[in-house]
Every structure is written in C-alpha cells, then in structure tokens.
A and B are shown apart, each in its own frame.
Chain A
Amino acid sequence: MTNNTELDLNQIRNDFPILHQEVKGKPLVYLDNAATTQKPKAVINAVSSYYETINSNVHRGAHTLSDLATRDFENARVSVQGYLNAETPEQIIWTRGTTEALNLVAHSYARAFLKAGDEIIVSGLEHHSNIVPWQITCEVTGAQLKVIPVLDNGELDMDAYGNLLSDKTKLVSVAHVSNALGTINPVKAIIDQAHDAGAVVCIDGAQAVPHWAIDVQSLDCDFYAFSGHKLFGPTGIGALYGKQELLDKMIPYQAGGEMIEKVSFSGTTYNQIPYKFEAGTPNIGGAIGLAAAVDYLMQLPREALELHEQALMTYANQKAADFEGIRLVGTAKEKTGAFSFLIDGAHPHDVGTLLDQQGIAVRTGHHCAMPIMDQFCIPGTVRASFAFYNTLEEIDQLFAGLEKAKMLLL
C-alpha cells in the first residue's frame, strides 16, 4: 500500500530483522526513527564479518589482518565521502556521532579562532548538542550567542535571521532538519547569506541524512555533522565533513596516538587531516558498519523512498485532521521524519506508555530541545518519527492506538 508501484516495501522491510517481532504480544510498530534507526542485515553482517575475519588495529600493523582492516576502514571513509559528495575522503573525520562532531568544531575551530565581540548564530529549534557547545565556546572566548527565532508553525524566521547577520557573525550552526518538529530548514539560503556576511556555517545533519543523500558541495556548507546510528548504521560512529582549508588550520581535538606525526619533548608535530582529529584507536567496526549502511542505501530506489516518506507524512496529517483533540506541534510546510503532537488533556508520557502497551514505539518528552518546548509553553510532545520502511498501515495503527489511549486517559 504505497503510492508508488515500483516500490516493494515488504522486500525492504525484510532487510531489517528487528522489525519482524512482537512487543507486548503485538506486532512491533517502530516509530522512533528520529532517536535511532534500525539496521539492515547488510550492516549487521558487515560488523560481525569484520570481527569474525579481519579484526585488527588500523594503520599500525605490519601484518596481513591489519592491512585488511586498514583497507576496509579507509574504504568506509570513501563510502561516506560519496554519500555526502565531499571533495576528498580526507575531509571525512570519524567521530562518535553528531554530538562529538559539533563539539569538535566548537573546540578546534570556534574556540581557537573566535574572540570577544564575535558572534555565533544558532536557531531556536536546535538539539541541545547544537546549543551547549556554542554556549561553552562563548563562555571561553567572550563571543556572543544569537538565536534565530522560530515562528509558531516551526519554521525559522528568515527575516530575523537576515537582521542578526553582521560582520560580527563568525559562525552559524543550524540543523538541516529539526528532530523535535520535523521542520526542513532552508539551509542553502542560510549558508549563502552567512557567507555573504563572511561567516562560516556548520550544519547539524543528524535528521537529514536518513531521508535523502546530501551534497555538501552544492550546499557549500563549511561543516556537516551526522550520526551513523540515525543512518541505519551502528551506534558510536558518525562523521564530520569539513572544508579542507578550515580543517587544515584547525587545532587537534583530542591528543594521543595516531594524531601525531612526530612526538618529542622539545615539540610535537601533528599528523595531516583526517588523522589530526582522530586520536586513539578508532571505532573500526563501526566505520565499516556505517559504510555498509551507506552502500545499502545507495542501491535502494532513493527517490521512490523519498516520495513514500512524504506520503507517510501527508497521510499522518490527514489522519490527524480527523482525530479529535490532537494538536500538531510543528506544522512547517517542509517537513520530514518527525511528527510531533499532543493529545488535549493527556500527558505525553502517559500517551507514550499506553502506545507502548500496544507495541507502538514513539518517543515522548522534550527531545533534547528544551528551548523550543519552552517557546511553545509545553513540557514536551509525543513524537512519531518515520523511516522509509514504515508503512501507511503503521500510521493507521498509531492512530488506533491513540484512540485507545484517549479512551483510557480522558
């Protein structure tokens, strides 16, 4: 039941072993994809095959397994480079995820180059991991944090953004897609305007990468951060893309093995990128798993899947229009992934608990985006979040589950 006949959703769902189980005696309806996505067999197999056959430390060994591990680890970088259309693989730096990628930019770029009087701009709908690193940067450097206001429908106030930009603006960091509201931000316009003002732009891509392939060159962003686990890959791995000239001049993030060229007590010289930012033994299995996820995605009919995801969102909106007592939180024209709402008179956590009793997994709470919750004067929302493997039937089940929750709570 999709709007696209060439798409065999059942076959795609069969690639994801976890989806075929019962929770609380009911077929699992997994609608918490903005928190983390499920993994296809290709990823699970790649990770276990790595540990079963070639596990070794990378870049160090003069032995066969280490060479094989190094080859696959560096090929994984090339896969991610391809997914983001980065200029070179060296511009892909492995991190634990989006959080670490953003902290890396804050530490190695912003803290190193910003000073009192400079300004950093974020938006009002950011995830805490795209707020707090900049607050700390400001504390340390004396720079000031400015916030793009969010309109009632969850879109950014782009006029206000234009007014915030000035020659004091040194860095703009915004989400490509909001995790709490699903808003797709006009990042291309944000980037172009920031560049006109002479600022560097960092994009938090955590919630965008699962929905379409990113082209960092056409976006012309300076940094792009994402998490592997939200891209159908393993946890504990993610990446930061950066423009070469910026990465080259940045200071190291952590210090230790691998990130140095030469160490002596009279002075140490750093390795080149990306190794300068990758101190210590990396998450080799994770990187290989993430590459498997990217390779898996690349062979899917992405455009058809994108249309299918849009159909899911449209269908959820239609169902909501007929559902008494639901209030959508975030009604931007361009949305993907997150479908956030409240049921009148019911606490979101109660709704979440009762959905869980019916095998339906959603997230409730503030979604690590307290400022936007405060702006809307709500403690949090119920958030159903979709991936391409979700079906229209699952949205029916969500609304049937909500009907039941309402009956019990109200």
Chain B
Amino acid sequence: MSESINPFGTSITHEDLLEDLEFFDSWEDRYRYIIDLGKKLPDMPEAYKTDENFVHGCQSQVWIHGELNNTDNCLDLLVETDAHIVRGLAAMVMAAYNHQSPQTILDFDIDAYFEQTQLIQHLSPTRGNGLKSMVKKIQDLAAKHTH
C-alpha cells in the first residue's frame, strides 16, 4: 500500500461529510448519501483480507488494514465490507481517520463526530457496536505506532 488511493481523510474530509449531511431532512436521502459514500471507497486487495485485519463484533464482514506511511508518519487505512450501509459508515470512519498521524487519531473525538452526523440515533445498537469495533481497531493500530 505505497500510495493511498482512499479519498476519505484526504480529498474528502470529515468536515465535508458533516456539511453535506446537514442538507438532508429525510432518512431516505441520508441513507442514499451514505450508500453513495460507500461506493467511493477503494476495494481492498484480497491479500489484506486476513484474520488479523478482520474486525470482530460487526454483523457483516469487515476488514481494516493499516500501514504507517514512512514519508509523513501518517496511518494509511483501507476498509472492506460486504454490506452497502456498513460500507458507507466505514467511509465516514475513514473520513475521520485515514491518513492522519497516530496521535491525531487517538485525539479525535469520534463520539462527538458521530453525534454531529445525527446517525447514531438512526443506527441499531448492533450496528452501533460494529461501528465501535471498527473505531477500536483503528485506535489500537494508532496506539501501536505511538510508542
């Protein structure tokens, strides 16, 4: 994973997403937007779909691969999942975390972010847990690279 082709966290920031989400007042539009976000996620190479990268605690299958980029010390992330909505949510997580320094990742207030998206209230607890598992996986990766 030499160059990151993941647009989230680089060309699409979490501020962009929050701005977009403010426009929607129907749940249909909100979900259509999330599903479309998921379509912008790059596919993960098969080789990264390992047990180590597997995210437990999600209802759908999710993998997250992370690598420290030696040039700028940022964590480059890729995520893969088989469900459209989860994929969209994963894109939102990527917008916050991808290509950030490990310390920035650890400092980021993810709860406040998701509260602002007004999505948590729309998420079932199980899916909420899946989201938490993804976040935990990335935070653990970041923590590994801070000491």
Chain B residue nearest to A361 in the complex (CB): B124
Pairwise interchain contact A349-B31, C-beta atoms closer than 8 A: no
Q: Which of A130-138, A246-254, A351-359 lies at the binding interface? A: A351-359
How distant is B47 from chain A, measured CB to nearest CB, in Å? 22
Which has the most chain B C-beta neighbours within 10 Å: A347, A349, A357? A349
How distant is A133 from chain B, measured CB to nearest CB, in Å? 24
Pairwise interchain contact B32-A408, C-beta atoms closer than 8 A: yes
Considering the chains assembled together, what is the distance between the CA atoms of A24 and B124 in angstroms? 12
Chain A residues 91 to 150 lying within 8 A of chain B, measured CB to CB, are none
Chain A residues 11 to 63 lying within 8 A of chain B, measured CB to CB, are 24
One of A357, A364, A404, A408 near B122 (C-beta < 8 A): A357
Given contacts A349-B59, A408-B32, contact A356 B124 (CB under 8 A): yes
Considering the chains assembled together, what is the distance between the CA atoms of A180 and B82 in angstroms? 22
Chain A residues, Cβ within 8 Å of B32: 408
Considering the chains assembled together, what is the distance between the CA atoms of A24 and B26 in angstroms? 11
Pairwise interchain contact A365-B31, C-beta atoms closer than 8 A: no
Chain B residues, Cβ within 8 Å of A364: 59
Given contacts A347-B84, A349-B86, contact A408 B35 (CB under 8 A): yes
Chain B residues 84 to 103 lying within 8 A of chain A, measured CB to CB, are 84-86
Given contacts A349-B60, A379-B61, contact A354 B31 (CB under 8 A): yes
Chain A residue nearest to B121 in the complex (CB): A24
Chain B residues, Cβ within 8 Å of A408: 28, 31-32, 35
Pairwise interchain contact B127-A349, C-beta atoms closer than 8 A: yes
How distant is A77 from chain B, measured CB to nearest CB, in Å? 35
Considering the chains assembled together, what is the distance between the CA atoms of A357 and B123 in angstroms? 9
Pairwise interchain contact A349-B122, C-beta atoms closer than 8 A: no
B23 within 8 Å of A by Cβ?
no
How distant is A402 from chain B, measured CB to nearest CB, in Å? 14
Considering the chains assembled together, what is the distance between the CA atoms of A356 and B35 in angstroms? 16
Chain B residue nearest to A354 in the complex (CB): B31
Chain B residues, Cβ within 8 Å of A409: 35, 84
Considering the chains assembled together, what is the distance between the CA atoms of A354 and B35 in angstroms? 12
Pairwise interchain contact A353-B60, C-beta atoms closer than 8 A: no
Pairwise interchain contact B61-A353, C-beta atoms closer than 8 A: no
Pairwise interchain contact A349-B83, C-beta atoms closer than 8 A: yes
Chain A residues 362 to 410 lying within 8 A of chain B, measured CB to CB, are 364-365, 379-380, 404, 408-409
Interface string of B47-74 (1 = CB under 8 A from A): 0000000000001110000000000000
A346 within 8 Å of B by Cβ?
yes
How distant is A156 from chain B, measured CB to nearest CB, in Å? 28
A350 within 8 Å of B by Cβ?
yes
Pairwise interchain contact A346-B84, C-beta atoms closer than 8 A: yes
Chain A residues, Cβ within 8 Å of B31: 353-354, 357, 408
Pairwise interchain contact A350-B83, C-beta atoms closer than 8 A: yes
How distant is A196 from chain B, measured CB to nearest CB, in Å? 43
Which has the most chain B C-beta neighbours within 10 Å: A350, A352, A404? A350
One of A24, A347, A356, A404 near B60 (C-beta < 8 A): A347
Pairwise interchain contact B124-A357, C-beta atoms closer than 8 A: no
Chain A residues 314 to 369 lying within 8 A of chain B, measured CB to CB, are 346-347, 349-350, 352-354, 356-357, 364-365
Pairwise interchain contact B82-A347, C-beta atoms closer than 8 A: yes
Chain A residues, Cβ within 8 Å of B122: 24, 357
Considering the chains assembled together, what is the distance between the CA atoms of A375 and B35 in angstroms? 30
One of A353, A379, A404 near B85 (C-beta < 8 A): A353
Chain B residues, Cβ within 8 Å of A353: 31, 85, 123-124, 127
Chain B residues, Cβ within 8 Å of A352: 124
Closest 5 A/B residue pairs (Cβ)? A347-B83, A350-B85, A349-B59, A357-B27, A350-B83
Show 24 A/B contacts (Cβ-Cβ < 8 Å), sorted by A.
Answer: A24-B27, A347-B60, A347-B83, A347-B84, A347-B86, A349-B59, A349-B60, A350-B83, A350-B84, A350-B86, A353-B85, A353-B123, A353-B124, A354-B31, A356-B124, A357-B31, A364-B59, A365-B59, A379-B82, A380-B59, A408-B28, A408-B31, A408-B32, A408-B35
Known: A350-B84, A354-B85, A408-B28. 13 other contacts (CB 8 A): A347-B82, A349-B60, A349-B127, A350-B83, A353-B85, A353-B123, A353-B127, A354-B31, A357-B31, A357-B122, A380-B59, A404-B28, A408-B35
